[in-house]
Amino acid sequence: MPKKPAKKAVKASPQRAAKKSPKPIPLKSGPQKPRPWTPAEVHEAFSRFRKANPEPKGELEHLNPYTLLVAVVLSAQATDAGVNKATRALFAVADTPQKMIALGEEKVREYIKTIGLYRNKAKNVIALSEKLIAEFGDEVPRTRAEIETLPGAGRKTANVVLNMAFGEHTMAVDTHVFRVGNRTGLAPGNTPLEVEQGLEKVIPSEFMLHAHHWLILHGRYTCLARKPRCEVCLINDLCRWPEKTV
Ligand code: SF4
């Protein structure tokens, strides 16, 4: 018996298929990613920061690149106010690597004993001073790689020094900048380095000299860790944080 031709599979037209199988659209699990900032929005945010505070200053007191370097090394896990309290007297007697070495580790320790981890920090201050004399002609070097070789100095220290002492367009990411970068959605990242690179990518060059300070000050006084002051925040209309209170 001749075989019956196999039934041709009939493709449903898109409309029919849609009618036939109204499959529910699966809900995405987890929070939705916020829409990235447009270049115009980033420009607007930093224009507002600039208008409100055209010449932002860092809060770590220092007299020259060397004392800035020492102050930043001392500021790890300490507040700027606490560091300033100790360094005012220290820098009055030792504002160069030679003077610091002449003072000696024990005396340095005495000056900074109100700062956390002061024993280790005193050791680092002496060791970095010795290295500056031995390898860098008593000067703070001007590259990140060189600064990072100094005892107690990491990437954040290098970025602060390069920005504040030498006017480089670096972005030092501390706890405040890390929080602001993530919350606002300006530069989300799991590590300080990711946030640093994200911010460098989106912030226009015209703002980079002061961007680090604007973001630190924003995090320190407005976008507070526990209770952000969204109602007085300059960029509350642009911020992508789903939990913002405005
Ligand atoms: S709106 Fe609130 S969460 Fe967003 S940046 Fe401003 S203070 Fe921070």
Domains of the chain: 39-57+170-232 (1.10.1670.10), 65-166 (1.10.340.30)
Lining ligand 1 with CB less than 6 A are 183-184, 222-223, 228-230, 233, 235-236, 239, 241, 244
Instruction: State in Å: Cα 229 to ligand 1 middle.
Output: 7
151-168 pLDDT, tens digit per residue, is 999 999 999 999 999 999
SS3 of residue 53 by DSSP = coil
Residue with the bigger pLDDT between 79 and 4: it is: 79
Instruction: State in Å: Cα 239 to ligand 1 middle.
Output: 6
The question of whether 33 is a catalytic residue gets the answer no
Closest atom, ligand 1, to C-alpha of 229: 7
Residue with the bigger pLDDT between 144 and 16: it is: 144
Q: Quote the pLDDT of residue 17.
A: 39
DSSP secondary structure letters along 55-120: S---SS--SSHHHHHHHHHHTTTS-HHHHHHHHHHHHHH--SHHHHHHH-HHHHHHHTTTSTTHHH
Instruction: State in Å: Cα 47 to ligand 1 middle.
Output: 16
Q: Amino acid identity of 218? A: H
**Of the residues 20, 99, 156, 227, which is catalytic?**
156
57-72 pLDDT, tens digit per residue, is 989 999 999 999 999 9
70-111 pLDDT, tens digit per residue, is 999 999 989 999 999 999 999 999 999 999 999 999 999 999
Q: Give the global pTM.
A: 0.84
End-to-end CA gap in the chain:
79
